[in-house]
Structure 1
Amino acid sequence: MEHPDHTAASSALHGPIRVGVGGWVYAPWRDNFYPADLLRRLELDYASRHLRAIEVNGTYYSAQKPATYAKWAEATPPGFVFSLKAPRYITESRPLAHSGKGVDSFIYGGIEEMGDRLGPILWQLPPSRKFDADDLDAFLQALPRVLNGRPLRHVLEVRKPGFLCPAYVELARKHAIPTVFTDSPKFPSLADLTGDFVYARLMRSIEEIATGYEDRALDQWAAHAQAWAAGRDIAALPHVGPTQPPGPPREVFVFFISSAKLRNPAAAMALQERVDRLA
């Protein structure tokens, strides 16, 4: 399914909803998501015209050159955005409060070349990272919020059960940093709303299903995405604290990650179609 108009679905009552996948280079997508005869240098061009967002995992292993960020942006249509996964040498440093030099190197090292294609910056904390309120507080306080006049959006993914506590939720809300909602049997999950946008990573796709998820599950996630975009909390999802009262519209990002990666583009397109139909 193609989306020639990449302006994300939105209205006065709903924030835009963008559905995507992790990365765009994956050999099994050839003759599955990508046409068999598509030139490899055109894969991003193709992916960005069938999806609304891509989470870049490569930046987790090493920051890119400014020219690379510019090239990515130029290959994509208006309305498309990238989420950049922050380098692991920052999130794995000890303590986080002393990672300022690394943070600045990444933030001011060229990502401004992406312009309006730059979406959220994902800070993924490893499963070994314990919840230390003072350390995390200092880290979140120091994160740059503006780059060349453009607001920066940060989102935090926590992977240790010790973060599933009211103190963490309170701290994230203090800094207005959204927490990733991770739907996975492997990692802790909390849907507490802690920022002004929502970021979900869905990790249960099944290879035997052409769209990765059964229709009923995709319908449910479309309803969840619409509820988030309308500013509503979702009591049916796991929370640390009580659900929040309805608030202003929120931008929503949903990524199909890992699991049966072969099926993730189809899952993303199927979910985006449902979301757009409900808008």
Structure 2
Amino acid sequence: MKSSRDRARIRIGISGWRYKPWRGVFYPNDLPQRLELHYASRVLHTIEINGSFYSLQYPASYQRWHDDTPEDFVFAVKGPRFITHMKKLRDVAVPLANFFASGVFNLRRKLGPILWQFPPNFRYDPARLAKFFDLLPRDTEAALKLARRRDARMKGRSKLSIDERLPLRHAIEIRHESFCHPSFIDLLRKYNIALVIAESAQRYPMMHDITADFVYIRLHGDKTLYQSGYGDQALEKWARRIKAWQRGGEPRDAEKISKRKPPTSKPRDVYCYFDNTDVKLRAPVDARTLIRKLKL
């Protein structure tokens, strides 16, 4: 019999958890700041770690996040912008090594998908993408091997051991229309990398093509980027889509680039993160409402 960890799961969460405007709205006024993650992780199923996008974190931080959350909780980790925005995927073997050496292994079984978000001016480049995808480790054993190639500045702030070999998942969020090409979908499917289904108030392309054995959704706002909350009808629509993807099918309103069928029709894990409104007041509310609609 499969454990709950082995079954295809739907996890609904938020992007980040430390936002001052949430005090008295999502978090109780008297809750100590050090307990915010503890609180949020008992209301939601998953959270994106955002700090890793802006700078390399420390092993002690990942260990603390692991210890503050329930046993079946899962984090998504956002890959460094140094790799995606500054290096634009060029010569990134050592930066990748530094990222994996920085402490992500301390999340152990709570390490979920790794999110790689491309900047709006990054165009589709099949050769460069394939080279980057070849570098991405597919399990923690391969990630550890890569991490040992870290540079000297990581001395004294690295985690270079794992408890067990676990699979790693990667997801790609694009923001340039040049990616709306069937060959990009084929490339992602070749590497079992998820195309992030990202709603951004029509600012950036949103494609519903399923390219991996799991689904990754980011909801930045349906009417105004980062500012609009989701109404009941919009959340009902996303609930229907998520149920279809989790079962291994596709929603009727799927907007796809490729005419080919998804790589598998087996049930899939679905991760959905709300990142809406600049001050992020609506994200926890919308996440909890969607959780209720999905009867999770």
Question: TM-score, normalised to structure 1's length?
Answer: 0.89
Aligned residue pairs, count: 265
For 1:235 and 1:242, how far apart are their aligned partners in 2?
A: 14
Q: 1:48–1:80: 8 Å Cα contact kept in structure 2?
A: yes
1:1-33 Cα shifts (integer Å, max 9, x gaps): xxxxxx97996xxx2000011111111111110
SS of the aligned residue for 1:276 comes to coil
Q: What is the letter of the counterpart of residue 64 of structure 1?
A: Q
Deviation at 1:258, TM superposition (A): 3.0
Matches within 5 A, 1:18-57: 18-57=11-50
Q: Deviations over 1:63-119 (max 9, x none)?
A: 111010000010000211111110000112445252111111111321000111111
Q: Deviations over 1:133-163 (max 9, x none)?
A: 0110010011011114111111111111100
Change in Cα spacing, 1:206 to 1:29, as seen in structure 2 (3 Å) is farther
Q: What residue number does 2:172 align with?
A: 156
Alpha carbons 2:175, 2:205 under 8 Å: kept = yes
Equivalent of 1:188 in 205, 222, 225: 205
CA–CA separation in structure 1 for the residues paired with 2:88 and 2:290: 39
Between stretches 213-222 and 177-186, larger displacement belongs to 213-222
Secondary structure of 1:200's aligned partner: strand
* Whole-angstrom CA distance in 2 between matches of 1:10 and 1:118: 15
Which sections of structure 2, spanning at least 5 residues, go unmatched? 141-161
Contact 1:8 1:18 in 2 (8 A): no
Q: 2:193 aligns with which of 162, 177, 200?
A: 177
Q: Secondary structure at the match of 2:294?
A: helix
CA offset digits 1:154-203 (Å, max 9, x no partner): 11111111001011111111111001001112111111011110000112
Q: Which residue of 2 aligns with 1:204?
A: 221
CA distance in 2, matches of 1:34, 1:74: 20
> 2:240·2:251 contact (CA, 8 Å) conserved in 1?
no
The one-letter amino acid paired with 2:236 is D
Distance (whole Å) between structure 2 residues aligned to residue 219 and residue 10 of structure 1: 27
Partner amino acid, structure 2, of 1:239: K
CA shift, 1:234, in A, is 2.5
Is 1:98 the equivalent of 2:91?
Answer: yes
Q: Is 1:8–1:52's contact at 8 Å kept on the other side of the alignment?
A: no
The residue identity in structure 1 corresponding to 2:233 is R
Structure 2 contact 88–122 (Cα < 8 Å) conserved: no
- Cα 1:168–1:18 shift into 2, 3 Å: same
Contact 1:178/1:199 (8 A) holds in 2: yes
SS in 1 for 2:282: helix
Whether contact under 8 Å (1:229, 1:251) holds in the other structure is yes
Q: TM-score, normalised by structure 2?
A: 0.84
1:3 is matched with which residue?
A: none
Supply the RMSD in Å over aligned alpha carbons. Answer: 2.1
1:56-71 map, 5 Å:
56-71=49-64
- 2:277 equivalent among 259, 272, 279: 259
Identity between Structure 1 and Structure 2 (%): 40
